[in-house]
A and B are shown apart, each in its own frame.
Chain A
Amino acid sequence: MRDRLMLSMRASHAFMTIFAVGAVLCALWGSATGDSFYLRLGTEALILAGLAMSVELLLGYGGLLSLGQALYFGAGAYVSALVLRETPSFWLAMGAAFGFTLALGIIGGLIANRVRGVYFALITFGMAQVAAKTVYNTRELGGSDGLIGVPQIAVPLGPYSVSAADPVAFFLFVLGFMTLLYLLLAYLLGTPFGRVLTAMKANEKRVPFLGYSIWRARMVAYVVAALVAGVSGALYPMLRGFVSPELMFFETSGDALIMAVIGGLGTLVGAFYGAALITALKSVIGSWTEHHLIVIGALFVAAILFMPKGLIGRIRPRAEAILGGKRAIRAEAQEEHP
């Protein structure tokens, strides 16, 4: 099927290819210079891109503003850390994080999908806040210190094995993992479910008249977003060797939102560019002042005021024109000025 969504997805794929190639080049540069700090930072940016992708799915495609995606990110990270401390097995940790965030996402979805609009935003905010405080106050989970001493593991991939201790290899592995997640989500958005989701964002009242269940679409989107955030979070302790309650705090959810908005809502690939940009900014500003919030906040406000479609959303129409001919540009113009 050839339509607006497929065309915009093809443009996003082009941007994803550029991003992946750029990331591989960075990895090559890193391995040539023997750097590990920036590669680790880059890996963290990729993990955060996973969290930002879950925001993309909910807000960018479904129009559902969640202020608590860090809940699932943190839950995945904690479960992964707990498993890894007992048995250092990658697949076991991933499986446990997947199962736990699935259950948590279903429970959270049942609660949050009772309400819509701003209530949804506030209740997701509240759920994450309460979960974070609970973890913060639970001594068994390390309380405010979090869990330390997560061993560095080897990721078995068929005949090969990637060591999390090797910055280059782990960076490339996480890049591959996130690209896979991206492709899965892109596929999902092309299915009938994805169409219902985008239809719901366009006009929530009409969708039920066409015979589709709003509740089901919202629930599936919410649970899938929880899973994406959860498995991304599960990678975090493998990278850093520890987890802390900060991973669940609103700051983390807020960062994911900022990344998704600055990268471009409704582009999916914007999550990667946003995460890379914000992580880089934080690192650069952080090297000479601790007040990076004010810069990022100002950038975010400016993006909402002057570039509401984000970086990728701004340049994507051109990519679409190259990929799909002039017709696409006309369709875009009509969409903006009907």
Chain B
Amino acid sequence: MTATLDYIHFILAPQMLNGLALGVSVILVALGLTIIFGLLDVINMSHGEFYAIGAFGALALSWLGVNYWLLIALVPLLMIPVAVLVERHLIRRVYDSADRHTSTLLLTFGLALILEDLLKILFGPNTHRPENPLPGATDLFGIFIPTYRLFLIGIGIAVVLAVAFVTYRTRLGAMVRAASFDANMAGSLGVRVGVVYSGAFAFGVALAGLAGVLLAPIYSVFPTMGHDFILMAFTVVIVGGMGSIWGAVIAGVALTQVQAISSLVISPVWADPIVFAVMVLVLMVRPQGLFGRLGHA
């Protein structure tokens, strides 16, 4: 009996908490993806690169001596104008092409190549390790967990709640959901759909940037760091239902827990196939994902 309790206390619980910290980061990336898809009908293949840009932005600004806590707000804000330019001048041009999904996906894929190489040119291909602003561990009911991960879980929950509040409880959120549900009707009722589109894209990109800033102290920072993350984020978005905020949250927590717990039993390198198997199973039963689309539910 005590052996079981000890197992739960010292092995399972810390692993689940670490999984939750990873889950929060995945959710931040997936939230941006799902919002962009839910509103613009665009699969943003360059999302992983925006995440990397966030991390590198934090790195570069911290070299200049900017305080880490300021970066958390500053980097996502700096990414907004970039994202607006990308939406206005690149993505918007192919909205009206015959197959919008395909052409926007290909366009953002091309953009991803450019951004990745830009990062390589600016920062070199090497791996950087920023300093951890919250070193040490915290004793949480006898479980030692790195303080920074606890902070990550806290800020992640705060961001998710804030996004959900704005989307579902404010006038701005109602306008955004209306534009997603029926752009023409929302436009004729005075919603500036073009602005909403740019704003939604910029917001999604800013979330990816935020995830980059937050994760930089835990994971290493390198130009292709987005690649590792984007598959998980896509999986979360598919399982949760494209364009669903709560779907992304629930799927993000569930899948990272599956990953965390399964790596206790088998080699962690098999965690990805297991997560993918869960995704296939979900699609077999519910091809549209667990939850409906933003603005449609």
Q: Which residues of A contact B (CB under 8 A)?
A: 59, 63, 65, 111, 114-115, 117-119, 121-123, 125-127, 129-130, 133-134, 137, 250, 254, 257-258, 261, 291, 293-294, 296-298, 300-301, 304-305, 308
Contacts and interface: CB of A to CB of B under 8 A. Distances in A.
Contacts of A294: 113-114, 117-118, 121
Contacts of A250: 227
B106 A257 contact: yes
B88 interface: no
B272 A130 contact: yes
Contacts of B118: 294
Contact of B110 (A63, A114, A118, A300): A300
Given A121-B102, A294-B117, 15 more contacts: A63-B99, A114-B283, A115-B283, A118-B101, A119-B283, A122-B43, A122-B237, A126-B276, A254-B109, A261-B106, A300-B109, A301-B90, A304-B103, A304-B107, A308-B97
A111 B109 CA distance: 24
Given A63-B102, A304-B103, A257 B97 contact: no
A305 B107 contact: yes
Nearest to B41: A118
B269 A118 contact: no
Given A114-B284, A119-B283, A305-B94, A291 B120 contact: yes
Contacts of A126: 231, 234-235, 238, 276, 279
B283 A118 contact: no
A289 to B, nearest CB: 9
Interface residues of B, number: 42
B250 to A, nearest CB: 18
Which secondary structure dominates chain B's binding surface?
helix
A114 B286 CA distance: 10
B81 interface: no
A84 to B, nearest CB: 27
Interface string B250-279: 000000000000000001011011001001
B231 A125 contact: yes
Nearest to A122: B234
A119 B109 CA distance: 16
B236 to A, nearest CB: 11
25 contacts: A111-B280, A111-B283, A114-B287, A115-B283, A118-B101, A122-B43, A123-B279, A123-B283, A125-B234, A126-B276, A130-B272, A130-B273, A137-B269, A250-B227, A254-B113, A258-B110, A291-B117, A291-B121, A294-B113, A298-B110, A301-B90, A301-B114, A304-B107, A305-B94, A308-B103
A66 to B, nearest CB: 11
Contacts of B109: 254, 257, 300
B203 to A, nearest CB: 20
A144 B245 CA distance: 37
A304 B94 contact: yes
B242 interface: yes
A59 B118 CA distance: 29
B177 to A, nearest CB: 20
Contacts of B237: 122
B279 to A, nearest CB: 7
Contact of A301 (B110, B116, B276): B110
Contacts of A133: 269, 272-273
Contacts of A305: 90, 93-94, 107
A134 B277 CA distance: 13
B105 interface: yes
A222 to B, nearest CB: 16
A171 to B, nearest CB: 29
Contacts of B227: 250
A134 B235 CA distance: 17
B37 interface: yes
A274 to B, nearest CB: 13
A297 B113 contact: yes
A169 B279 CA distance: 47
Interface in B146-194: none
B276 A127 contact: yes
B111 interface: yes
B82 to A, nearest CB: 15
A130 B280 CA distance: 12
B217 to A, nearest CB: 25
A65 B106 CA distance: 9
Given A122-B43, A250-B227, A117 B101 contact: yes
B239 to A, nearest CB: 11
A115 B284 CA distance: 9
B111 A301 contact: yes
Nearest to A308: B97
Contacts of A298: 110, 114
Given A118-B37, A121-B43, A297 B117 contact: yes
Of B105, B110, B118, most buried by chain A (CB within 10 Å of CB) is B110
A75 to B, nearest CB: 15
Contacts of A111: 280, 283
B193 to A, nearest CB: 21
B234 A297 contact: no
Contacts of A291: 117, 120-121
Contacts of A123: 238, 279-280, 283
Contacts of A129: 231, 272, 276
B114 to A, nearest CB: 4
A304 B106 contact: yes
Nearest to A117: B101
A118 B43 contact: yes
Nearest to B99: A63
A127 B101 CA distance: 20
A38 B101 CA distance: 38
A310 to B, nearest CB: 12
